Structure 1
Amino acid sequence: MLRIEIESLVTGIDGMTVLMTVETASVENLITGFIFERRLRPEIAPDFCLTDARGNILKRHRTVASYDMKDGDKVYLIKNKRQLLFGCRNWTILATLSSLIAIVGLSVITYLYTKSAAFPFDYVVVIDAGSTHSDLYVFQWRGEKFRNTGVVEEIATSRCEGEGLANYNDISSAADSLQGCIQLASTTIPPHALGATEIYLGATAGMRLLMLSNATAATLLMQEVRAVICGKSRFKCSLDNIRIISGEEEAAYGWISVNFLGKTLAYAGSSPFSYGALDLGGASTQTAYSTSTNATVSLQLFSERYDLYSQSYLCYGLRETERMVGASLIMEQNSTVVNNPCRPFGNATSMPYDSIFGHVCTKGFSTAFPNSTIFTMKGTSNSAECKIHVRHIFHAANPTHVPDKLTIRSPEDRREFMAFSGYYSTMEFLNLSRSTGDRVSLSAFRNHTDAFCARSWKEISMLDPSDPHSPYLTMYCFNAHFVDVLLTDAYGFTDQTFENIIFIEKVGGTSIGWPLGMALNATNARASEMPPEPAISPVTFGILLTVFLLLLLSAILCALKAIRVARHHRNYQPLSTYGAI
C-alpha cells in the first residue's frame, strides 16, 4: 500500500487529503477517491485533473506505478484545463456573441432582400402656363399603381419668373421665362430618374384667347416653348404633352384634384359622394361636377368610370371681366377720365387704349376714341355701383362680344363644392378663409366686401409692400363683387347653398388645381414598374439565411452548455452524508 497526499488547488475545495492506494491504481482512481473522501458528487470527477510538483498533468488512464510514485509523494488537484477554458462564463460569452451576430446578420440580409425590392418612385412635372403667370409642380408616386392609377403626391412647387406666356411680345422671351422652373424641377428629381420623367405644359385661357386673336402667333409661341422644354432639358418630352389645353379639360382636371385630395375617389374606398369643383383664373372660370345625365366628359381613374358635367367660360376670369367692366364704363361715360366705382377713392391709374380694347374679350365694345388714347381710371369706392356694373356684364341684353356666353346652370341640391384659385385668394384677402379651407356665409362675405370697397386708397395702401397682396390692392373690390355675382347670379347659389362651398388652397400640403388632376390622369398611360432586383440575389439570400440560422442554433446550444456547467459548479459543495458509494 502506498500513502499518496493530494492537495487541492481548487477554490472552494481547499486543503490536503491522504489516500491509501496500490501501485496498480490509475490517476482516475485517485481523483475518484479524493472526491469520495471530500464528500463531493461523483459526477464532477471529469472536471478535475492531477499534476505533479512541476505542474505536469498526469494522464487519467495511467497507473501510479507508471509515474514512479513513492509512499508519501504529493500530487495536486486542479480544474481540468479544458474546463477552465470553457467554463460557464466562457460558454455564456460564446452564446451571446453567436446570437448577436446571427440576429444582426438576419436583420441585414432581410432588409437588403426586401427593402431594396420595393417599387421605385416615378415622377411627373406639370407646368401651368396661366394667363397672368406660370407655375411649376413636381409630383411623385410609387411605380406600383393602385388599380391602374398612380397615387401621386406633390413634392415641389414654384412660381416661374415673368408673366403669362401670352403677355410677351417676343416668343423667345416667353419660352425662356420657363427656364428657371425647368432647372428647379431638374434638381428636385434624382438624376437617374430624369430621362424617364415625363414633363407636361398646359397653356390655359390666356393662350386660348391668343389662339382666337392671332392663331399664327400662338402656334409659333407654342413651337418655341416645345423647343426650349424638349431641347434644353433631360426630361422625357413628347410634343403632344406641351400644348394648349381646352377649358373642359382644365375643369375636369380640377374636379380630379379636389376629389383625389378630398378622398372621394376609388383609391380611398368606394364613395357615392363627390365634390364639385369651382376654379377661377384670370381669363376664364371653370366648373365641373359628377352627373348621371348630360355628362360632357367621362374619366377612368382607379379602374372606375366618372361622368362629369365640365364647362369653362372664356373671358369670365377676374382680369378679363374687369377689362370688360372698364370698357363698359368708358362707353357709358364717353370720357378719357373714367370714374370707376370698383377702385378705391384717391387712386388714379393710367391705362392705354390697347390694354382695354385691344383684347379679344372687349372687341365687341365700340368707342370713338383713337388707339393712342390714354384713359385714367379714378376710383370712387362705391360698393353698390361696382356690383351693378359687374352684374351688367352678366346680364347684358346681347353679350355676343364674348366667345363663350355664360350658361346659367344651377348645381344639384346639397352638393358640396371646393372653390380654389381666384375664389380662395379673394376670400383669404378678406380674412374669410384659411389655406386648409373654410365655409363662408353669403351675408358675411357681402358685409366684408362692402366694408373693404368703402375704404379709400389712403387707407388700404398702408399695407406692407412685401405682402403678396400688395400689387393687387386696387382689384380686390372688383374681385369680391365678381365672385359674388358669378356664384349667385350665374351658378345659382343661394343664402342656404352658399355655405356648401369650401374655399380652399391646399389639402395636406398639396395645392388644389388642375395640374394635380393632369398628373393623376397621366399615370393611367404609364405601365406599372416592375420592382428592381434586390441588393442580394435569392440564392445568396438563401445561403446567408442558412448560415445565420445555424449560428443562431449554435448560440442556443452554447447557452444550454453554459447552464449545464453552472449546475456542475454548484455540485462542488460537500454532501451532508457519504451516501451509498
Structure 2
Amino acid sequence: MAGKTLSFLPPLLLATAGLTGLLLLCVPTRDVREPPALKYGIVLDAGSSHTSMFIYKWPTDKENDTGIVGQHSSCDVQGGGISSYADDPSKAGQSLVECLEQAMQDVPTERHAGTPLYLGATAGMRLLNLTHPEAAASVLAAVTQTLTQYPFDFRGARILSGQDEGVFGWVTANYLLENFIKTQHSHPCWPQGYSTQVLLGSVYQSPCTQAQRPRAFNSSTRITVSGTSDPARCRSLVSGLFNSSSCPFSRCSFDGVFQPPVAGNFIAFSAFYYTVDFMRTVMGLPTATLKQLDAAAVTTCNQTWAELQARAPQQKARLADYCAGAMFVHQLLSQGYGFDERTFSGVTFQKKAADTAVGWALGYMLNLTNMIPADPPGLRKGTAFSSWVALLLLFAALLLAALVLLLRRARSAKAQNVI
C-alpha cells in the first residue's frame, strides 16, 4: 500500500507546483520604481592662475526638471592657467591630461559616453581675448583638441563673461545653502624685492593702460617691473577702479550699476576666500571686521618679497599678487559695495559648503542639467507584503510536506530491509 502511495508522490508534487504557479499568477502585483542610477558631468574651471576639474553626479531622474547635483570628486591641474600658455598653446591642452585621466577612473566606464564635459574659462582668458584674440583662440583650440580625445561627451570650451561667472556663482552658493590696475615700472602692489620682465607691447594692450599708450614705441622691448611694497599707493590705484561719480538710479554700487542697500548674509568665495585665508593663516592676522581687514591688507602689502617667501615658500607662484588682492577685496566691499562694520558681519569667507566647492562651476552644471533629458524610471513587479507572507508560508508548508514524505519513505525502506 505504501508503495502505491509513494508512486503517486511525483505527480502530486508536480500538481502542487503547478497549482502554486497559478496562485502566483493570480496574486495582485504593482509596479515598483527601482532606485535611480547616477549620471555624471565634468566641468573644467579654467581660471587665471590655475585650472580645477570638478566631477558632479546626480540621479537619472529629476526634480523640477533640474538634476539634484552633488560634487563627486575634484582635481587641481598642475601649472598655471591655460592663458599662461599663450606662447605655446599645445601645452595648455597637455596640462589637462593628468586630471582627465583621473576622470576616467572616477566616472564609471559604462557612463563615459553619456557624461557631458565642459570647459569654462574666466578672467585670464577674458583678458587674453581682449589683448591677443588670436592667441586666445589658439589656446581654446588646443584644449578642445585634447578634450575631444577622451570618451566623454565634450560640449565645448568657452570664455565666460564676468556676468555669467557671477550669476553661476550666485546659483552655486544659494543651492548649497538650500536657498534657493595701472602698470608702471615700479609696482606698489608688488612686494619689494620682487620683479618680473614683460613685453612693453603687452603693457599698453591692457584695457587699464591703453589711455597711457605712447604714439610710438618699440612693442618688443622687454622692461623689468619691480615691486615697491607701498600700501598707500596700492590702495590709491585700486580705489581708482571704482567710479562712483555718477548714478542714473536711486542707488548704485560703482560704474553706474544699480544696487539695493546691502542687508542679510553673504558668502565670499573663490579669490575672496583664498586672499583672506592667506592673511588669516599664513600672515596670522585677524579679519573679522572691515578695520581689521584693512589693517591686514596694509600689513600684507608692507612685506618684502623675501619675507613672503619665508612665510609661504610653497605658494611662490601667487605670493606677488596677495597685496593687490587684499586691497581689492577691502576696497570692493567697503567702497564698491558699501559694506560698513555692521553689514560686514554678515559676510563669511568660505571655500566649501555642504562638502562642495563654492564657485561658478556647480551653478554652470545645474544650468546645463536642464538640457540633459531625464531617464525614464525603471520599474519592476512587486507584491503586497501580506501576499508575500502568504506565499512564503505556502512554500514552507510544501517543503515541510515533502520532507515528511521523504522521511516516511526512508523508514519504510529500512523496515523492509530488516524483514
For 1:423, the equivalent position in structure 2 comes to 272
Change in Cα spacing, 1:412 to 1:193, as seen in structure 2 (3 Å) is same
Q: Which runs of 5+ in 1 are unaligned?
A: 1-112, 266-323, 331-335, 399-404, 558-581
Change in 2 beyond 3 A, CA 1:543/1:221: farther
Q: Give the match for residue 449 of structure 1.
A: 297
Measured after TM superposition, the shift of residue 170 of structure 1 is 3.1
Q: Verify: 1:459 aligned to 2:374, yes or no.
A: no
User: 1:165 matched to which residue of 2?
Assistant: 82
- Give the aligned residue type for 1:503: F
Amino acid across the alignment from 1:419: A
Distance in 1 (CA, whole Å) between partners of 2:386 and 2:203 is: 76
Q: Could you tell me whether the CA contact under 8 Å between 1:119 and 1:143 is conserved in 2?
A: yes
Name the residue aligned to 1:520.
Answer: 366
Residue identity in the other structure for 1:455: Q
1:138 Cα offset (Å): 0.1
1:190 maps onto 2:108 in alignment = yes
The answer on whether the counterparts of 1:349 and 1:377 sit within 8 Å (CA) in structure 2 is yes
Deviation at 1:354, TM superposition (A): 4.2
Q: Which of the numbers 524, 549, 552 marks the counterpart of 2:393?
A: 549
CA distance in 2, matches of 1:219, 1:355: 17
CA distance in 2, matches of 1:522, 1:471: 33
Deviation of 1:203 after TM superposition, in Å, equals 2.1
In the alignment, which residue of structure 1 is the partner of 2:7? none
* Deviating more after overlay: 480-489 vs 377-386: 377-386
| Deviation digits for residues 113-150 of structure 1 (CA, Å, limit 9, x no counterpart) | 97x92100111111112233221110001112122211
Partner of 2:127: 209
Aligned to 1:261: 176
Amino acid at match of 1:362: T
Residue 325 (structure 2) pairs with residue 479 (structure 1): yes
State the percentage of identical aligned residues.
Answer: 31
Q: CA distance change for structure 1 residues 228 and 363 in 2, over 3 Å: closer, same or farther?
A: same
Change (3 A) 1:257 1:190: same
Task: Report SS of the residue matched to 2:341.
Answer: coil
**2 CA distance for matches of 1:484 and 1:445?**
7
Q: Does 1:246 align with 2:164?
A: no
Count matched residues: 358
Q: Deviations over 1:225-269 (max 9, x none)?
A: 333322x1111233xx4322333222211111000011112xxxx
CA contact (8 A) 1:407 1:490 kept: no
Superimposed CA distance per residue, residues 84-125 of structure 1 (whole angstroms, 9 cap, x where no aligned partner): xxxxxxxxxxxxxxxxxxxxxxxxxxxxx97x9210011111
Pairs within 5 Å for 1:221-240: 221-230=139-148, 232-238=149-155
**Alignment RMSD (CA, Å):** 3.5
Report the counterpart of residue 200 of structure 2 in structure 1: 353
Instruction: Considering fraction of residues, name the structure with more helix.
Output: 2
Q: Which amino acid aligns with 2:164?
A: E
Q: For structure 1, which segment, 170-179 or 499-508, has the greater mean C-alpha deviation from structure 2 after superposition?
A: 170-179
Task: Give the C-alpha shift of residue 379 in structure 1.
Answer: 3.5
State the alpha-carbon separation in 2 of the partners of residues 138 and 124 from structure 1: 6
Gaps of at least 5 residues in structure 2 are: 1-30, 247-253, 402-419
Counterpart code for 1:158: C
Matched, 1:362 2:209: yes
Structure 1 segments of 4+ aligned residues over 6 angstroms from their partners: 541-545, 553-557
Pair 1:544–1:194, CA change in 2 (3 A): farther
Partner SS, residue 196 of structure 1 = coil
1:141 counterpart residue number: 58
Structure showing greater radius of gyration is 1
Q: Tell me the CA shift for residue 353 of structure 1.
A: 2.4
Query: Partners of 1:497 and 1:458 in 2: how far apart?
Result: 37
Give the Cα–Cα distance (whole angstroms) in 2 for the partners of residues 194 and 147 of structure 1. 25
CA distance in 1, matches of 2:133, 2:365: 28
Q: Does 1:176 align with 2:25?
A: no
Is contact 2:297–2:327 with CA below 8 Å preserved after alignment?
Answer: yes
Q: Is contact 2:59–2:67 with CA below 8 Å preserved after alignment?
A: yes
Partner of 2:417: none
TM-score (norm 2): 0.74
Matches within 5 A, 1:364-379: 364-367=211-214, 370-379=218-227
How much has 1:198 moved relative to structure 2? Answer: 1.1
Q: Distance in 2 between matches of 1:392 and 1:246?
A: 22
Contact persistence 1:463–1:470 (CA under 8 A): no
Contact 1:408/1:492, CA 8 A, preserved across alignment: no
Give distance in 2, aligned partners of 1:458 and 1:243. Answer: 38
Tell me if the contact between 2:66 and 2:369 (Cα under 8 Å) persists in the aligned partners: yes
SS in 1 for 2:264: coil
Query: Match of 1:195, SS?
Result: coil
Q: Structure 2 CA distance, aligned partners of 1:237 and 1:442?
A: 44
One-letter identity of the residue aligned with 2:219: N
Q: Output the CA distance in 2 between the equivalents of 1:369 and 1:217.
A: 22
Q: Distance in 2 between matches of 1:146 and 1:129?
A: 29
Q: Deviations over 1:254-294 (max 9, x none)?
A: 111000011112xxxxxxxxxxxxxxxxxxxxxxxxxxxxx
Quote the Cα distance in structure 1 between the aligned partners of 2:126 and 2:318.
Answer: 24
Contact 1:350 1:374 in 2 (8 A): yes
- Residues 432 and 440 of structure 1 are in contact (CA less than 8 Å); yes or no, is this contact kept in structure 2? no
Match of 2:67 in 1: 150
* Gap change, CA 1:419 and 1:145, over 3 Å in 2: same
Counterpart for residue 414 of structure 2: none
Q: 1:475 to 1:504 in 2, by over 3 A?
A: same
Residue 341 of structure 1 pairs with residue 188 of structure 2: yes
Deviation at 1:363, TM superposition (A): 2.9
Q: Secondary structure at the match of 1:492?
A: coil
